[in-house]
Amino acid sequence: MHLFIAGFESVPDPRAENVRHDLVELLVIAFIAVLCGAQNCSEMAEFGREKLKFFRRFLELRHGVPSHDTFSTVLRMLDPKALDAAFGQIAARLVAALAKGGVIAIDGKSLKGAYAKGEQSSPQMMVSAYAAGLRLTLATVAAKDRNEVEAALEVLGLIDLKGKIVTADALHCNRRMVSTIVEKGGDYCIALKGNQASLLSDARACLGRADKVKGARKPAVATTETKGHGRIETRVGVVVDAKGLAEHHEFPGLKAFGRVEATRRIDGKVTTDVRIFALSKKLSPERLLVTARAHWQIENALHWQLDVSFGEDAARSRKDNAAANIAVLRRRALDVARLDQSKGSLTVKLKRAGWNDEFMLKLLSQMR
């Protein structure tokens, strides 16, 4: 608990000096409430009142637990970047464990319930950098005006990329993105689609020529097969050089193209999906398959879990910075819960944390 108290002390208080409730204490209650399943400010306040005796073991709470209006006001005013940075400091030891060559996936997620009246088609969005191997959020930024590209660039500026492989979908296949990655000492494996039509055409030509090569000069191919839930998926990966094309297309760091062909058989129905990647490092075909697959963890292990276990899609906090700040709390609560190796689903663990104070403290102590 003291680790979180110390971490939150770095968050600037946007309120006037004559406030009643201490910001650090408010953030501690809000975070632990979210860790135990709270989804809005009213539930944070109610959780604090029900756990008052527990919180007074660590917090002074001279004026008791803040009201839901106070939680709402503070979270609307607070800078989400500062809040996320505080969590970054708390998790610094865990982030240091990210191995060389580790995959950092970049992707955005809409907060579907966080939209202004009459603007349901334009909900707020958060862009995250996710360490696939650690299953840990490294940084999260609110996308201003839903500009996912600019938010992704901002996220990259917040984290150490040296020796890491950054993955992203085709939206982020642009010169600014790859320049930033290369300049910060990282490598990239980014999906290549029609938004880079000329580069995609040359990538297909390079791969097509490689397919026609015979004998010992034919590029190596890697194949994996997975089975489960009535589905059989076969994935075939190949990597070829992109000689001279970095300069031709003014695409910094480009060294190779990769292709992953996935064939799925479900109840006798066969579908095939082909994905092409721009690479700043000529990976082995086996490594390409692992890297491409690791990217999907940000969808399956982060975004999907935020909806299922934390109800993010249904959350209606939307005014000012409230949605972004609560989104940061959810992502960091997920990090903490994920560290626990005991049996049981994530949803059950969140409930157990709310029911059992000692289990809650066990979860929090894992960040040391």
Write the pLDDT tens digit of every residue in 335-353: 999 999 999 899 999 999 9
**Count, residues in the chain:** 368
Mean pLDDT for 99-126 is: 88
Predicted pLDDT at 352: 95
How many distinct helices (H) and strands (E) make up the chain?
A: 17, 9
Predicted pLDDT at 230: 81
Give the other-Cβ count within 10 Å of 103's Cβ.
24
Q: Report how far residue 154's alpha carbon sits from residue 147's, in angstroms, rounded to the nearest whole number.
A: 11
Checking if the pLDDT of 36 tops 80, the result is: yes
Predicted pLDDT at 86: 96
Domain spans, the chain:
2-94+320-365, 95-301
Question: E strand or H helix at 322, and its extent?
Answer: helix 322-338
pLDDT digits (tens, 9 = 90+) for 129-155: 999 999 999 999 999 999 999 999 999
- What is the band of 127 on the pLDDT scale with cuts at 50, 70, 90? very high
Strands 221-228 and 231-241: antiparallel
Checking if the pLDDT of 275 tops 80, the result is: yes
- What is the band of 312 on the pLDDT scale with cuts at 50, 70, 90? very high
Predicted pLDDT at 45: 98
Q: Report how far residue 183's alpha carbon sits from residue 180's, in angstroms, rounded to the nearest whole number.
A: 5
Residues 6+ apart with CB under 8 A from 24: 5, 8, 9, 11
pLDDT digits (tens, 9 = 90+) for 244-273: 999 999 999 999 999 999 999 998 899 999
Residue 265's DSSP bridge partners are 232, 270
For the purposes of burial, counting CB atoms within 10 Å of the CB of 364, is it exposed (0-12), middle (13-18) or buried (19 or more)?
buried
Predicted pLDDT at 117: 75
Predicted pLDDT at 98: 82
Predicted pLDDT at 265: 93
In this prediction, what percent of the chain has a pLDDT beyond 90?
85
Q: Report how far residue 328's alpha carbon sits from residue 137's, in angstroms, rounded to the nearest whole number.
A: 10
Mean pLDDT for 75-95 is: 94
Which DSSP symbol is given to 152? H
Give the alpha-carbon dihedral of 314, 321, 333, 59, to 10 degrees: -120
pTM of the prediction? 0.92
pLDDT digits (tens, 9 = 90+) for 167-221: 999 999 999 999 999 999 999 999 999 999 999 999 999 999 999 998 878 899 9
Mean pLDDT for 60-89 is: 96
Give the DSSP per-residue string, 38-75: --SHHHHHHHHHHTHHHHTTT---TT-SPPHHHHHHHH
- Average pLDDT over all residues of the chain: 94
Long-range contacts of 146-154 (CB under 8 A, 24+ apart): 146/110, 146/122, 148/108, 149/174, 149/176, 149/177, 151/108, 151/125, 151/126, 151/127, 152/106, 152/108, 152/127, 152/177, 153/177, 153/180, 154/127
Residues 6+ apart with CB under 8 A from 288: 189, 222, 237, 238, 239, 258, 260, 277, 279
Phi, psi dihedrals of residue 353, rounded to the nearest 5°: -60, -35
Predicted pLDDT at 318: 82
Checking if the pLDDT of 368 tops 80, the result is: no
Predicted pLDDT at 328: 97
- What is the band of 287 on the pLDDT scale with cuts at 50, 70, 90? very high
